[in-house]
Structure 1
Amino acid sequence: MSWGVATLGAPTFLTIGLLLARDARSDHPFFWPSLLGIVALSNAVAILRVNQSHRRAAFARRSVLALCYLRAGMAAGCAMFVVLGWSTGALQEMVATLAEMLDASAPAIAIVMGTWSLALALALAFGLASFAHAGALHAWIAFRRGAPGPRPGA
């Protein structure tokens, strides 16, 4: 339940899904639908990571669980976003569009560093929009204090 709510409730999933449902024609027909899969897969990775951590040492507070979820989701989602974006060419086009705003008189190294910074900023924005809410949702839906043990006298 937590995975479904976190995935379907992600702003990126909703926005991209609605735009694709309205008109699926795109300049990058593989990139945009794949982002939906990245959100779903990264949420699954984050849930598995949080559950594994919780079994080793139970979370004492929901906020700690939510931050652990956010770290795991961001790590998986941002990495997959960069790999997908770079392999399809969509990220280069987005970065080139944003890089036009950079000063043309800047040295070449500043432009290259700016390009990588823009790519990482796009990945970070995607990750935050996809997983910031998911940690709180998962903590609220699936959090239990400690592992349930045997009842006394049982």
Structure 2
Amino acid sequence: MTAARIVAPIIFVVSFSGFLGTQTLYPMGKVKIIIVCTFIGAVTDLILNILLMPSYSYNAAAISYLGAEIATSLSMFLIAHKMIPVSYFNKDVLLYSVSAILMGIGLFLMTFIHMEDFIQLLSMFIVGLIIYIGMLMLKRDAFA
């Protein structure tokens, strides 16, 4: 498995932590929580790198990065979920989540098509955009 495939779920994890941190906790003045959670992620990254690097080489860095982001997001959620009066499971969140998952599946399937790197990157950008915006247009979302 390539490092790119290992870190692919990072799109969802970073989006979630970005929503919690930058969009929610920071405006509420809860910067200390963000710092603590970022520290938890950094320690997780360091520990995973030390444990995995001898056996998995550069893939260890990808696994550690993903693990650190998951640790950051999970700790942010566990610490802050009682302070945030937001419903995570509503129609809009479901629409964006399904759109992102479908886009991720489409992009993952495109990794099996062998093309020149730049052409593949450009193709994946266009296909991802079409899938995501197409889903939003299908549901008549205001952002589409």
TM-score tier, shorter chain, comes to: 0.3 to 0.5
Higher-Rg structure is 1
**TM-score normalized with structure 1 length:** 0.37
- Higher RCO (CA 8 Å, separation ≥ 6 residues): 1
- TM score, norm. by length of structure 2: 0.39
